[in-house]
Chains A and B, each alone.
Chain A
Amino acid sequence: MEIKVLGTGCARCKSLEKVTTKAVNELNLDATIEKVEDIQKIMEFAVMRTPALVINGKVVITGQVPEISEVKEILTNNI
């Protein structure tokens, strides 16, 4: 699966990336995680709050950094 973390580089964006990486590793998922920092690319996903998480082109989280358990749930639901 293809995971994108959208964020312009704020602290919360970094922590979402961290949580996601950890969740992916713990779930042993075959996934690529890409950090998207370019604002024009971010806007293509129509998000108005960063950080955001995109799985296979679909926006699943906006404007928050959830607990790792919740990220895992979202990941497994979107495989």
Chain B
Amino acid sequence: MSRIKNKIVLVILLIPVWIIIYKSLKTISDFIVFRVFQMTPETHLTETIRFFIYEVPKVLMLLVLIIFIVGIIRTYFSPEKTRKALEGKSLFAGNVMASLLGIVTPFCSCSAIPLFLGFVEAGIPLGVTFSFLIAAPMINEVALVLLIGLFGWKVALIYVITGLAIAVLAGFILEKLNLKRYVADWVYKTHAKQSLSEEVTMTFNQRISSGASVVKEIVGKIWIYILLGIAVGAGAHGFVPDEYLAGALGNQHWYSVPLAILVGIPLYSNAAGIIPIISVLIEKGVTLGTALAFMMSVIGLSLPEIIILKKVLKWQLIGIFIGVVATGIIMVGYIFNYIAF
């Protein structure tokens, strides 16, 4: 790859190849199942294997493409630039901007603390910082890919819009509650002794390399969860009768949404493992609102991140934070269970 000087040319050549393979996946998987394996159609086992052979390459291909594109977009953003953009913004506009920037700014929950401190030090309001910290993990490219791949554009878009709404409103409410006193005391005493030197500008070739290395890193880390998630999903797809879960988690019970959230918080799965399973839950009778709520609580309210934040926030604030976000997620769940669909 390093021999090719101009990576843009390589990328342009690879895109049609990607599209052709992606478009033929259904034919290829049917060929493998019915011609190569000679399986009888319509049996449980056939449906399970067919689902697996079709979904795995589909999701992996979508992941590679979207993580690559997002990886390139992210080279144009950094927490430092985001902080600068948010400085001195008025409250509501600041929340909206922080949530939007949360999607595109490179973020890893292990960096949540330095980012939090950096924002606080720049005088960015607590609520605006929270909007960022809610949106950044909840709306991530892996979740987006899996939602597009397994549910379609419409559900993916609903997820992004409602996720943004929760981040904006929760941040706004948290600011209005005036919770500064629940931030660990040392936070406001920390001061940087130097400011970071200027950003280096990258060439487009470097941005492409950066996108490629992000693909390698993320796909290398999550492919196993995707495989496992789709395997469980495929098993359920083939063997669990349709509407099986409609009784416990269908929309006739008011408690299904809060229950899904409670179960979701301690479950620390990245989007990669959980979304394939959820897609099958929906097939088996779980309503969309309950599934969305479950997904958001697994991805957006994760126990490890809460533990990390415990270093800078007192437990009262963590409690209020979880409460406000969970309320937002519950509302999303009910809205989609009872009103929209």
Residues of A within 8 A of B (CB): 8, 10, 12-13, 39-40, 42-50, 57-59, 62-63
Contact = CB atoms under 8 A, between A and B. Distances in A.
Given A43-B190, A58-B197, A59-B197, A48 B118 contact: yes
Interface string B50-81: 00000000000000000000000000001110
Contact of B196 (A8, A12, A59): A59
Given A39-B117, A63-B106, A49 B311 contact: no
Contacts of B191: 43-44
A59 B80 CA distance: 13
A43 B110 contact: no
A48 B110 contact: no
A70 to B, nearest CB: 10
Contact of A49 (B111, B190, B192, B194): B111
Contacts of A58: 197
Nearest to B110: A10
A63 B186 CA distance: 24
A43 B117 contact: yes
Contact of B115 (A10, A40, A49): A49
A49 B114 contact: yes
Contacts of B186: 40
Contacts of B114: 8, 39, 42-43, 47-50
A45 B192 contact: yes
A9 B192 CA distance: 20
Q: How would you classify the secondary structure of chain A's contact residues: helix, strand, loop or mixed?
A: loop
Contacts of B39: none
A58 B198 CA distance: 12
A48 B79 contact: yes
A78 to B, nearest CB: 12
Contacts of B32: none
Interface string B299-326: 0000000000001000000000000000
5 contacts: A39-B113, A39-B311, A44-B194, A45-B196, A63-B108
Contacts of B80: 48
A63 B190 CA distance: 20
Contacts of B192: 43-46
A42 B78 CA distance: 18
Given A40-B186, A43-B117, A43-B190, A49 B196 contact: no
A59 B78 CA distance: 15
Given A40-B186, A45-B196, A63-B108, 9 more contacts: A8-B110, A42-B114, A44-B193, A45-B192, A45-B194, A46-B194, A48-B117, A50-B114, A62-B196
Contacts of A46: 118, 192-196
Nearest to A60: B197
B83 interface: yes
Which of A10, A42, A48 has the largest count of B CB atoms less than 10 A from its CB? A48
Nearest to B190: A43
Contacts of B193: 44-46
A6 to B, nearest CB: 9
A43 B193 CA distance: 8
Nearest to A46: B192
Contacts of A8: 110, 113-114
Contacts of B79: 48-49, 63
